[in-house]
Amino acid sequence: MPTPAVLIVTILFSLIGMGVFMYAKRLALVRLMVLGVALMVYPYFVDTVGLLWLIGALLCVAVYYFRE
């Protein structure tokens, strides 16, 4: 059973990923769509809070860097 911190971080980054995906789909930006899907999916494979925050932050920085 995941801890409440893991659940909160998972929901947070999944919502960010869904927003990025919807934005990128509307503008047909494939690179951002992939990053949005990555933000939504990676929490299923990571179970520690620190690693969730680190990967999520890096993916959010990548979204900021690759936005057009």
pLDDT tens column, 13-43: 999 999 999 999 999 999 999 999 999 999 9
Q: Rounded to an integer, what distance in angstroms lies between the CA atom of residue 60 and that of residue 54?
A: 10
Q: Rounded to an integer, what distance in angstroms lies between the CA atom of residue 2 and that of residue 13?
A: 16
Q: What is the pTM of this model?
A: 0.91
| DSSP, res 59 | H
Domain that holds residue 20: 4-66
- The mean pLDDT value of the chain amounts to 94
The number of domains in the chain is 1
Q: Rounded to an integer, what distance in angstroms lies between the CA atom of residue 15 and that of residue 9?
A: 10
Q: Which two tokens stand for residue 42?
A: 């990676």
How many residues are recorded in the chain? 68
Amino acid at 13: F
